[in-house]
């Protein structure tokens, strides 16, 4: 299927995708040194843009990476890239690489970080899975301890998650639960996890090794408005085995039910009633809020 070439933001310019190239000496490529964000566009508005940009600048700060443009310029560049691609619904990938340097680790030899903004689309899971629900496994690959690499840094080094994703796919599943070093549930390979039991909602604490997901926070707000009680807990696999309902959240995934875990049905093995309601309420929020894009 032929599609129009994209317009990419690269270091201050909007260029055709064929011209959007970076050096083989960029440490983003050589070492996965850099950080990124994934952001959704709904109905001509960018969802939770400020929150995503805050997290990006925090990731950069944590790894001593100076982003060459400020917050307001980044916001404008993001909105301009969406407008240049005439996207009303889609997905933005914002990438900051360490930049060009020598063939050694030293990031201080990379004088200028590069900023890349891609505005396109993403389909993480087949459409029908939003109706039927995902099957999950427990991944043998653990989330790294915060002392090794903070899960709050959304770095370009996603090999830990990719190793776990390989396990999921080899097991015929779309996603999997990643445990922390103590064996407690942290999150999924690219999503946060929630369970519902006896009318109460539970999700692992951030300290368990979960990324402080923007969708996680938005869904918590949605559930609070529904009058549901939410508990951030130390979660075990047993808690998910015995849950009434389970769902995952993420920018690319949005909100999706999970109906099987380690070959055990969750609840009655079908997307739960409250999960379906939460998905509907999240969609309503996503379609009615956000930073408007100005299309020329
Ligand atoms: N955990 C991981 C490891 C992720 O990569 C993501 C996706 N960014 C999430 C959770 C969900 O976070 P968010 O809702 O901010 O996209």
Any idea which residue has 């969802």 for tokens? 47
- Which positions are annotated as active-site residues? 154
Q: Is residue 84 part of a domain?
A: yes
**Could you tell me which of 26, 20, 19 has the C-alpha nearest to residue 65?**
26
pLDDT band at 2 (very low <50, low <70, confident <90, very high): low
Q: Tell me the three state secondary structure of residue 180.
A: coil
Burial class (CB in 10 A: 0-12, 13-18, 19+), 148: exposed
Question: Which token pair is 281?
Answer: 């309420």
Strand-pairing partners, residue 46, are 41, 291
User: In this structure, which residue's CA is closest to atom 4 in ligand 1?
Assistant: 190
What pLDDT digit, counting tens, does each position of 235-293 carry?
999 999 999 999 999 999 999 999 999 999 999 999 999 999 999 999 999 999 999 99
Q: Is residue 166 part of a domain?
A: yes
Return the ligand 1 atom nearest residue 55 CA: 15
Predicted confidence at residue 3, as pLDDT, reads: 73
Do 22 and 97 meet the contact criterion of CB atoms below 8 Å apart? yes
- d(Cα 4, Cα 20) in Å, to the nearest integer? 15
* Residue 1 confidence (pLDDT) above 60: no
Residues 108 and 140 in one domain: no
Q: What CATH number did the domain enclosing 265 receive? A: 3.20.10.10
* Residue 296 confidence (pLDDT) above 90: no
- Of 72, 88, 120, the one marking the end of a domain is 120
Residues 168 and 94 in one domain: no
Return phi, psi of residue 38, to 5°: -115, 130
Q: Which of 251, 256, 286 to mutate to test the pocket of ligand 1 (most atoms within 8 A of CB)?
A: 251
What pLDDT digit, counting tens, does each position of 159-175 carry?
999 999 999 999 999 99
| Full domain range(s) for residue 50 | 7-120
Predicted confidence at residue 279, as pLDDT, reads: 98
Q: Is residue 296 part of a domain?
A: no
- d(Cα 225, Cα 292) in Å, to the nearest integer? 24
Give the distance (Å) from ligand 1 centre to CA of residue 296: 32
């Amino acid at each position: 299927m032929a599609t129009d070439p994209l317009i990419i933001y690269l270091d201050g310019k909007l260029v055709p995708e064929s011209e959007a190239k970076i050096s083989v000496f960029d440490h983003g490529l050589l070492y996965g040194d850099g950080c990124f964000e994934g952001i959704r566009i709904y109905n001509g508005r960018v969802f939770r843009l400020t929150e995503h940009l805050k997290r990006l600048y925090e990731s950069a700060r944590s790894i001593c990476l100076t982003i060459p443009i400020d917050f307001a310029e980044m916001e404008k560049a993001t909105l301009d890239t969406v407008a240049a691609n005439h996207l009303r619904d889609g997905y933005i990938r914002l990438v900051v690489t360490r930049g060009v340097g020598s063939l050694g680790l030293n990031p201080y030899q990379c004088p200028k970080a590069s900023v890349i903004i891609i505005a396109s689309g993403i389909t993480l899971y087949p459409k029908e899975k939003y109706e039927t629900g995902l099957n999950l496994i427990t991944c043998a690959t653990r989330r790294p301890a915060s002392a090794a690499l903070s899960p709050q840094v959304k770095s370009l080094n996603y090999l830990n998650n990719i190793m776990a994703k390989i396990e999921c796919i080899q097991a015929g599943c779309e996603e999997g639960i990643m445990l922390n070093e103590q064996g407690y549930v942290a999150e999924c390979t690219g999503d946060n996890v929630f369970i519902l039991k006896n009318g109460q909602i539970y999700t692992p604490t951030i300290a368990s090794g979960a990324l402080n997901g923007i969708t996680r926070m938005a869904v918590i707000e949605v559930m609070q408005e529904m009058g549901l009680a939410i508990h951030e807990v130390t979660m075990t696999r047993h808690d998910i085995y015995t849950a009434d309902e389970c769902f995952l959240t993420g920018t690319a995934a949005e909100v999706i039910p999970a109906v099987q875990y380690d070959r055990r049905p969750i609840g009655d093995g079908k997307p739960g009633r409250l999960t379906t309601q939460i998905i509907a309420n999240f969609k309503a929020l996503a379609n009615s809020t956000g930073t408007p894009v100005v299309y020329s």
